[in-house]
Amino acid sequence: MDRPVYQKLKTEQKALEINLNESIYGTFSEIGAGQEVARNFFKVGAAAGTIAKTMSAYDKTYSDAIYGAEVTGRYVCESRLYKMLDHEWTLLEERLRPIKSDCNFFVFADTVTTINYTKTVKGQGWLGVRFQLVPGAAPSEIVIHSKMLDNDTKLQQDAIGILGVNIMYAVFYYKDDLKKLVVSLMDGLEDRISIDLIRFNGPGFEDVDSTIVSLYMVAFGLTDVTIFDEEGLSIHASEFLYKKSLMVVRGNFKPPTLVTMDVIKSSFKQFKKGDDVNQAKSHLITEVTLDYLRFKDGKINLEDFKIRAELLRSLGYKVLISNQNNHQDLINYMEDYKIEHLGLVVGVRELEEIIIDKYENNQDGRLLVSLGELFNRNITIFVYPALNRETGALLTADNINVPEGMKYLYKHLLESNQIVEVEGYNESLLSIYPSDVLNSIINGETDWEEKVPKKVRQLIKSHGYFSKLN
């Protein structure tokens, strides 16, 4: 999977080209960070042919009077953005369609908060465009969520302005090249923002596979983490994980087997029994990292990803894609959403690798700091056992090989229940090895069929999944 090659235009060039396109006409509505996007279109000139109205409601009471109040009391949220798009689109159609019948209407909206004086709010926002490709046609739309990385309010406002222009240009000029559309959103913004959600709707994007968009976002560096749900639709952590509890199960899932299902079910059942976990506010996500999707030459295997995404969704799981090979990066990402308790599920062999890596790479006195970052107070590592293929012995969190210099600290982590063994697992399933199942599929054998869930078996057989992959 190659990165698209195209001529990058400056923000001013994009804004002017849109302004000079007589068929594009609409409204900008921006709350929170000011008229940063609209300002770019005014600066380059010829905006009278593009902009019907700009809107900015800073006062929350006034904003509520226009767009309606939010049940959650939050203003920088997905639901607020859609209310803005709905309201402004209705006005545009009612007031201007009779006299602008030859125009492709658009409504650009954003609700943004920038970094505060004490740096406790980092800056993030929801942005979207509802637009037409044919005058009078049903609209399409793109919605994104962005996190600002600049450490200054003015710089973040500038970044939002650039991002808004990139979005506008992408939907009108790159709509038929999905890779280019996605990557171009970052033009002029490298290391200044991250984009962790892109959602497409409407007739202009009927053939877009949201799971592929999610992969592009991580593979092309727009974000370190993105999530899609059981239907394959992009979702954002802030909208369903805020102050909730989350368990993440990282795996290869090539393919999901009966032992995979046991890992997920037994560990999640145990997680929800925790003293500080509200069962009604608990979620589970499966995680696939880019390293699990690479060919030997380092390129991403797109077809392989499509298969695994479909199999996991068929089993009813949300999927988190990341380029984060260590758990600390994932933990840092989740901190922004004030998750009450985070559970990470690892195999016993992976735990052993983590412990040894922490020990070997922290010989300069940073070991306690390194482990302290990983095992903070609201994180629990759940360890699923395995069988030693040579001896048949059971490997558990209690009997893994721990370096001598780590034993005392490791014992403390066990005793404080920051590392716990998964309970209630099905020991008879430990003899199922996913690599053996995959090899059986590739070799055209049938013994794998009894080692995977029924839905997985049906999909693999009906589509010939994995038989041509390596």
Answer yes or no: is pLDDT of 366 > 90. Answer: no
At residue 168, the pLDDT reads 98
At residue 57, the pLDDT reads 83
- Per-residue pLDDT tens over the stretch 21-68: 999 999 999 998 778 999 999 999 999 999 999 999 878 888 899 999
Q: Which residues contact 15 (CB under 8 A, 6 or more apart)?
A: 40, 41, 43, 44, 165, 168
Phi, psi of 245 (to 5 degrees): -110, 145
Rounded to an integer, the average pLDDT of 307-334 is: 87
User: Which residue is listed with tokens 């709350």?
Assistant: 31
Question: Which candidate, 149, 127, 128, places its Cα nearest to that of 33?
Answer: 127
**From CA 340, how far away is CA 380, in angstroms rounded?**
12
Q: Which residues contact 106 (CB under 8 A, 6 or more apart)?
A: 24, 25, 26, 27, 129, 130, 131, 132, 168
First vs last Cα of the chain: how many Å apart? 16
Rounded to an integer, the average pLDDT of 185-195 is: 97
> For the ranges 4-8, 338-342, 363-367, 457-461, which has the lowest average pLDDT?
363-367
User: Which residue is listed with tokens 């005058």?
Assistant: 135
**From CA 321, how far away is CA 305, in angstroms rounded?**
10
Instruction: For residue 367, name the pLDDT band (cuts at 50, 70, 90).
Output: very low
Torsion-angle region of 56 (φ positive above 0: left; ψ -120 to 50: alpha; else: beta):
beta
User: Which residue is listed with tokens 């996605």?
Assistant: 182
Rounded to an integer, the average pLDDT of 75-85 is: 94
Instruction: For residue 369, name the pLDDT band (cuts at 50, 70, 90).
Output: very low
**From CA 248, how far away is CA 328, in angstroms rounded?**
13
**From CA 395, how far away is CA 386, in angstroms rounded?**
5
Q: How far is CA 16 from the centre of its chain?
A: 32
Answer yes or no: is pLDDT of 368 > 50. Answer: no
Write the secondary structure of 371-422 as one string of H (helix), E (strand) and C (coil): HHHHCCCCEEEEEECEECCCCCCEECCCCCCCCHHHHHHHHHHHHCCCEEEC
Asked if 410 and 375 count as a contact pair (C-beta separation under 8 A), the reply is no
**From CA 51, how far away is CA 13, in angstroms rounded?**
17
Query: Quick one: 240 exposed, middle or buried, by C-beta within 10 A (0-12, 13-18, 19+)?
Result: middle
Phi, psi of 318 (to 5 degrees): -75, 150
Select, from the ranges 261-270, 322-331, 460-469, the one with the highest average predicted confidence (pLDDT): 261-270
Answer yes or no: is pLDDT of 291 > 50. Answer: yes
Rounded to an integer, the average pLDDT of 225-251 is: 91
